[in-house]
Amino acid sequence: MSESLGEPASAELNMTAPETFRARFETSKGTFVVEAHRAWSPNGVDRFYNLVRNGFFHEVRFFRVIDGFMAQFGINGNPEIQGAWRSANIVDDPVVMGNTRGRVSFAKTGMPDSRSTQLFINFGDNSRLDEMGFSAIGEVVEGLEVVDALHAGYGEGAPNGNGPSQGRIQEEGNAYLETDFPQLDYIERAVIASEN
């Protein structure tokens, strides 16, 4: 993993992404490929590109998988690395392409410019999220059946459900998830597969 991952402001982690590129995610369930389009969400795609190229998603869990809704990931398993990125937010992009099946978007809070490292893959038509400012950065173009098969048995996280607490993941990393939620699927590694 890149030593620069702890320095979100470094030039190496703020490169402009190609207009389109593909990222290959090798997971505990198999491989899927995301094709990102910079025209859809320039700030989001730039962040995604830099996180993938620098190994941020290696050993990252799909910590919130809700049947019929989405699969969320993007909290680094090392609390020190995650701590450096926790408030490294990017500016919102207008919604150009919406949240339909297979599309990938950054998670955010209700506050402006709150996207950081967490993303989700839509299982179905979640176009209601479009008006809330969730702009898709790309879509799964290979292996959507792998995404569909991700373990969804833990459901919604605390405090609304019995699944993993995002706060505890941020503080304790993969050690917490491996102990309390051992069936979570995870990304073994994510790499840039091709650029255009």
User: pLDDT tens for residues 55-83?
Assistant: 999 999 999 999 999 999 999 999 999 99
Mean per-residue pLDDT of the chain: 95
Rounded to two decimals, what is the model's pTM?
0.96
Q: Quick one: average pLDDT of 44-58?
A: 97
Confidence of residue 2 (pLDDT cuts 50, 70, 90): very low
Which pLDDT does position 4 carry in this prediction? 55
Q: How far, in Å, CA of 2 to CA of 33, rounded?
A: 22
Where do we find the tokens 């917490």? Answer: 176
Q: How far, in Å, CA of 182 to CA of 44, rounded?
A: 30
Burial classification of residue 145, based on how many CB atoms lie within 10 Å of its CB (0-12 exposed, 13-18 middle, 19 or more buried): exposed
Domains and CATH numbers, the chain: 3-195 (2.40.100.10)
The more confident residue out of 159 and 19 is 19
Q: Pull the structure tokens for residue 145.
A: 């059946």
Which pLDDT does position 1 carry in this prediction? 42
What angle is formed at CA 115 by the lines to CA 112 and CA 118, rounded to 5 degrees? 150
Residue 8's alpha-carbon distances to 2, 16, 42, 193, in angstroms, are 12, 14, 17, 23
Short-list 194, 179, 186, CA closest to 58: 186
CB 55 within 8 A of CB 6: no
Short-list 78, 74, 101, CA closest to 90: 74
Q: 164: cis peptide before it, omega within 30°?
A: no
Q: Pull the structure tokens for residue 161.
A: 């459900």
For residues 7, 186, 145 and 159, what is the CA-based torsion angle, rounded to 10 degrees? Answer: -90
Each residue's pLDDT tens digit, 132-185:
999 999 999 999 999 999 999 999 988 888 999 999 999 999 999 999 999 999
Which pLDDT does position 134 carry in this prediction? 98
For residues 103, 12, 93 and 41, what is the CA-based torsion angle, rounded to 10 degrees? Answer: -40
